[in-house]
A and B are shown apart, each in its own frame.
Chain A
Amino acid sequence: MSVLEAKDLTKIYRRGREEIYALNHVDFSVDPGEFVSIIGPSGSGKTALLNILGCLDTPTSGSLLLNGTETSGKKESDLVKLRRDNIGFVFQQFYLMPTLTARENIELPLLFSKKDTNKGRIDEVLEMVGLADRGDHLPGQLSGGEMQRVAIGRALINDPKIILADEPTGNLDSATSKMIFELFTKLNRKGLTLIIVTHNLDLARQTQKMYTLRDGQIVSCEDLACVQGRDDLNIQQEVV
């Protein structure tokens, strides 16, 4: 069973009388343990798709099954629970709380899920993201790469089934981006499902499946374990 399955997703934004199709009849599915990337030019609908997959936004039409549960038509309070139990988010701008230490930032989702703060679990996550010795530092005392690691730790703390990352390396230099991607690969090897939106084609090629979006539609889906025809690659290079 797919951990995420979107069927015929359409998202229309209205600006006055104009209708903008952010997503146009998109079908998308991710199996457990897959590492998927979504690429495409700006305005192609990547973030709109990620937000709908993460239940942060609702589609205009179509359906989305998250871990077998239909999400369309659900109330925000139910979606909060679904997000809390299944999804971890990583953002381009990290969105760390500047007055909280790395450890406290990682702990934050536990406050909202009303789970007991387990010091051992936080240490484990800090270790997992390579910040075992930086837990008591404030975000201002950390580098960009370290801040993104804290954000990844925060996404991991609730033990999610899927990690959704929106341009996670967008604010980082290439060496740091590579390190973050290595971390994602490591997490994926441990069985975590990851969906990453990125502009970085080199990094996207390190994932197992690469979707290319253009004008709200998936124009290609490349299984990188078994590269398909040259046409798909040409399209990707052209759009990216």
Chain B
Amino acid sequence: MNFLTLAAKNLLRRRGRTMLTVMGVAIAISVLFSLLALNSGYEKELNKEVNSLGAHILAVPKGCPYEAASLVIHGGVIPKYLSEADLHNISKIDGIDLATPMLMHQFIRQDAKTGKDVPHIVYGIKIDEMRALKPWWKVQGRYFTDKETNVMLVGRGLADKENLTVGMMLPAGPFKNFTIIGILDRIGDQDDDFHFVPLAEVQRIFDKQGMITTVAIKVKDINRISEISDELEKIPDIQVVTMTQIMGTIMNLAGSARSLLLTVIAIALIISAFGIINTLLMSVNERTREFGMMKAIGASGLDIGRMVLAETVFITVIGGVVGTTAAIVGSTMIEGFVKGMLPYSPRGSLISLSPELVLFALVFSVVLGLICGIYPAFKSSRLTPMEAIRGGIE
């Protein structure tokens, strides 16, 4: 027998109470673990999403540039347009490697399986420029040329969801009778869910001749981004957003939501800590005579304190293991909940689990145990044998 087995057996005496305390710790650790997993996952996914655009700078119509930028990344309708003259002016600026126009539009199409109207996003693009911007694109089938009509590419995610195959024609919607000539390999970002059509075709279908939503710009030297942005700003009607700005703005927006979550977690942890301290103090108070007996048979104050501390650490470590496991198992559910709370959430998985994070959660639970156990352990260790035998603790 050693102090750990003694502490474990002591905890088993009050199974119900021990279990409730463990649950309290587990919930707190689970929420903490999820938030930390989410924090690193969010940044990683956002980075991936912004980088997947392949561009360094976006030129968007004047208005709220960040909203426009996030719509470009995520898909949506911007009610303002740039003209081909703007594109021409942009292309003239020195230091620009590539400036490709895009017309993004939303349309409704009936789902073949469910019969429900589902919103879809289509991008009108110049295929060669787009492929230069996104060299990682691979296609099953073939790419279209800019002059082709009634052809489209779709993302793998969309194809799988709607059972679309190469050679199929869309049965309904504004792109009725468009043939799917290629399906993009799965990339793991928003492109997986989009339709891509030659720019001229999208302009024709939605009657937006000469109009574009955005110009994605790749510069020759990334050190000159800010200088080029200044040049671009001089063109009337357009506003410029760099990818660094988008990242920064979104992270700021998400930051306030995360601060709120962090506060909730801090409160949960504090409540949980007081719960543990309270449980331990109750247990210490109930066992003063027992401590008296222990002192009579040779236990020192340090021995008693060590035993109480071991009991606390047991509770928090078990709570930590249960909480971390629950957080890993329930990460999808937690992610769904958190995604709803964030102002902008990337499409991929926001929860990034790592062994370091698991280790951190477990170490944190030990530290929590040590902090919570100090006072009850100190109090019990300071009892004189007579106080203990008389049960004289308050």
Chain B neighbourhood of A84, CB < 8 A:
298
**Is B297's CB under 8 angstroms from A108's CB?**
yes
Chain A neighbourhood of B300, CB < 8 A:
77, 80, 112
Residue of A nearest to B386 (CB): A57
Chain B neighbourhood of A95, CB < 8 A:
289-290, 292-293
Chain A neighbourhood of B73, CB < 8 A:
none
For residues 95 through 151 of chain A, which have their beta carbon under 8 Å from a beta carbon of chain B?
A: 95, 97-100, 104, 107-109, 111-113, 117
Which of A77, A99, A112, A158 counts the most chain B CB atoms within 10 A? A112
Residue of B nearest to A48 (CB): B386
For residues 373 through 394 of chain B, which have their beta carbon under 8 Å from a beta carbon of chain A?
A: 384-386, 389
**Is A112's CB under 8 angstroms from B1's CB?**
no
Contact of B294 among A99, A104, A107, A112 (CB under 8 A): A112
Which of A80, A104, A158 counts the most chain B CB atoms within 10 A? A80
Chain B neighbourhood of A168, CB < 8 A:
none
**Is A56's CB under 8 angstroms from B1's CB?**
no
B363 interface hit (Cβ, 8 Å)? no
Residue of A nearest to B382 (CB): A76
**Is B298's CB under 8 angstroms from A113's CB?**
yes
Mask of B299-321 contacts with A, CB within 8 angstroms, 1/0? 11101000000000000000000
Contact of B297 among A76, A100, A154 (CB under 8 A): A154
Chain A neighbourhood of B12, CB < 8 A:
99
A104 to chain B, nearest CB (A): 6
B296 interface hit (Cβ, 8 Å)? yes
**Is B13's CB under 8 angstroms from A112's CB?**
no
**Is B296's CB under 8 angstroms from A54's CB?**
yes
**Is B2's CB under 8 angstroms from A111's CB?**
yes
A8 to chain B, nearest CB (A): 21
**Is A99's CB under 8 angstroms from B13's CB?**
yes
B295 interface hit (Cβ, 8 Å)? yes
B206 interface hit (Cβ, 8 Å)? no
Contact of A98 among B6, B13, B294 (CB under 8 A): B13
Residue of B nearest to A157 (CB): B297
| CA–CA, A99 and B15, complex, Å | 12
A91 interface hit (Cβ, 8 Å)? yes
**Is A117's CB under 8 angstroms from B1's CB?**
yes
B176 interface hit (Cβ, 8 Å)? no
Contact of B384 among A76, A88, A98, A104 (CB under 8 A): A76
Residue of A nearest to B385 (CB): A56
A107 to chain B, nearest CB (A): 6
B51 interface hit (Cβ, 8 Å)? no
**Is B297's CB under 8 angstroms from A97's CB?**
no
Q: With contacts A56-B389, A57-B385 known, is A89 near B297, CB below 8 A?
A: yes
Chain B neighbourhood of A99, CB < 8 A:
9-10, 12-13
Chain B neighbourhood of A77, CB < 8 A:
300-301
B19 to chain A, nearest CB (A): 16
**Is A112's CB under 8 angstroms from B299's CB?**
yes
Chain A neighbourhood of B296, CB < 8 A:
54, 56, 83, 89, 91
**Is B297's CB under 8 angstroms from A155's CB?**
yes
**Is A97's CB under 8 angstroms from B290's CB?**
yes
Chain A neighbourhood of B385, CB < 8 A:
51, 56-57
For residues 226 through 269 of chain B, which have their beta carbon under 8 Å from a beta carbon of chain A?
A: none
Chain B neighbourhood of A88, CB < 8 A:
297
Mask of B112-151 contacts with A, CB within 8 angstroms, 1/0? 0000000000000000000000000000000000000000
**Is A56's CB under 8 angstroms from B295's CB?**
yes
Mask of B1-36 contacts with A, CB within 8 angstroms, 1/0? 111001001101100000000000000000000000
Q: With contacts A95-B290, A99-B10 known, is A107 near B298, CB below 8 A?
A: no
| CA–CA, A41 and B382, complex, Å | 32
| CA–CA, A57 and B294, complex, Å | 15
Mask of A76-96 contacts with B, CB within 8 angstroms, 1/0? 110010011000110101010
| CA–CA, A107 and B9, complex, Å | 14
Chain B neighbourhood of A51, CB < 8 A:
385-386, 389
Give 9 closest A-B pairs by Cβ, nearest first: A84-B298, A95-B293, A99-B9, A112-B298, A56-B385, A89-B296, A112-B299, A109-B297, A57-B386
Given contacts A76-B301, A108-B1, 14 further A-B contacts (CB under 8 A): A51-B389, A54-B296, A56-B295, A77-B301, A80-B300, A83-B296, A89-B296, A89-B297, A91-B293, A99-B9, A100-B9, A108-B6, A112-B297, A112-B300
